[in-house]
Structure 1
Amino acid sequence: MACKTIITIGRQYGSGGREIGEKLAADLGIKFYDKELLSRAAKESGLCEELFENHDEKPTNSFLYSLVMDTYSMGYSSAAFADMPINHKVFLAQFNAIKEIANEGPCVMVGRCADYALSEYKNCVSVFVEAPMEARIRRIAEKYDLTDAKAKDSIQKTDKKRASYYNYYSNKKWGDASSYNLCIDSSICGVDGTVELIKNFVALKEARDAAGV
């Protein structure tokens, strides 16, 4: 049976979240979006893609949530959007692109507050992938040929950036179990095991939804 679910994946750096998302999408025969979200947002908003790369999952101290939500309802042609600071425009464009992609059908999206943007979608499952620091250091050190110290520094900085972005733009807490439907330690299950676990979770949800439970 074809997958009917949109799956969002939040992830600690070095936990294998992106690889898990890619394999999950391939197994389910649905589309995968990570950096692709940036290209989509740039194309639909008319903004330069480089702006999205420079502001990708980076928090700002001047974000005005109500202004962005008001502008979201008016669209890119509104005067409010034209006058909005660039970081606001980038977030708004990503927020809009996430919803547009979700409306097209089942897929896997990684990061960028996708779970928050799609919180009202009944066919969405939010997942957070984590792993102990030691396991993540090994993964990053091997992948990028870094010393353990440099790998740990990179992990801590990236996690801090992702947490700040998520906590700032959403009304939830990054990495907190209450913010997601499913949290998994990928060091226990491995990449393939984590993929299978998510697939089983999604299948169970779809079965219950179909039965009206």
Structure 2
Amino acid sequence: MGNKIYTIGREFGSGGREIGEKLAERLGIKLYDKELLQQAAKESGFCEEIFENHDEKPTSSFLYSLVMDTYSLNGYHSAPFLDMPLNHKVFLAQFDTIKKIAERESCVIVGRCADYALSDNPDCINIFIHADMDKRVKIISQRANITENKARDLIQKQDKQRASYYNYYTSKKWGDSQSYHLTLDSGKLGIDGCIDMILKFREILDASR
């Protein structure tokens, strides 16, 4: 068996990032979230600000199939790659970096379509964290010190943005249980309960091989 990888998709305000942090801490492995942008920028030669500006942002381009065909046939630094729209270059640079990280080490990766990038990796567990809207509203309202109405609007905006980005680049549906190995309700299980479920899933998975 290879490196143990955990990818985490998450609804805004569901605690997905915190679950990723604590899971990585418990296992003694590295968490990649914004850190992935830094590494992708370093490896691709693009400045980090470009990755931050395009981070999990949806695209209005209709060139996805053409882009992926070009990438699969010609590779990351090919001439066709240089002619791609910037948002595609950013996505493919992240895609490349995610694969390299997974080959190098066990880790937890938050967001950024990592489950899609590692879809052929048998040692990768793909997780989606969700929670009831009312619970997420209270969390974001307190965290950002804003009204619950504003928190609700922010959550809806962020979820829509993440869904648009994921659905476009993966041709799957964000949050759909069929897109993941585990979908966990952090509002019911709590942060530690979600981590326990993930580790139990890994234990059963490894024992079944």
Q: TM-score, normalised by structure 2?
A: 0.95
Deviation at 1:82, TM superposition (A): 1.5
CA distance in 2, matches of 1:156, 1:36: 25
- In the alignment, structure 1 segments of 5+ residues that lack a partner are none
Please name the residue that 1:20 is paired with. 19
Kept in 2: contact 1:63–1:88 (CA 8 A): no
CA distance in 2, matches of 1:96, 1:4: 17
The DSSP-based 3-state class of the residue aligned with 1:137 is helix
The DSSP-based 3-state class of the residue aligned with 1:174 is coil
Deviation at 1:64, TM superposition (A): 2.3
**Structure 1: 4+ residue segments shifted above 6 A:** none
Deviations 1:133-185 (A, max 9, x none): 00001111111111101111110000000000000000210001111000000
Residue 80 (structure 2) pairs with residue 80 (structure 1):
yes
Please name the residue that 1:44 is paired with. 43
Deviation at 1:68, TM superposition (A): 2.9
Name the amino acid aligned to 2:121. Y
Q: Which moved more, 1:26-35 or 1:56-65?
A: 56-65
The DSSP-based 3-state class of the residue aligned with 1:119 is coil
Q: What is the number of residues matched between the two proteins?
A: 208
Please name the residue that 1:133 is paired with. 133
What root-mean-square deviation, in Å, do the aligned CA atoms of Structure 1 and Structure 2 show?
A: 1.6
Deviations 1:59-106 (A, max 9, x none): 112152333332355344321122111111101101111111111121
Name the amino acid aligned to 2:165. Y
Deviation at 1:199, TM superposition (A): 1.2
Deviation at 1:4, TM superposition (A): 4.3
Kept in 2: contact 1:72–1:92 (CA 8 A): no
Deviation at 1:54, TM superposition (A): 0.5
Q: Percent identity?
A: 60
Residue 169 (structure 2) pairs with residue 169 (structure 1):
yes
Deviation at 1:32, TM superposition (A): 0.5
Kept in 1: contact 2:3–2:102 (CA 8 A): no
Q: Which moved more, 1:34-43 or 1:63-72?
A: 63-72
CA distance in 2, matches of 1:177, 1:103: 26
Q: TM-score, normalised by structure 1?
A: 0.93
CA distance in 2, matches of 1:75, 1:169: 17
Kept in 2: contact 1:113–1:166 (CA 8 A): yes
CA distance in 1, matches of 2:73, 2:109: 23
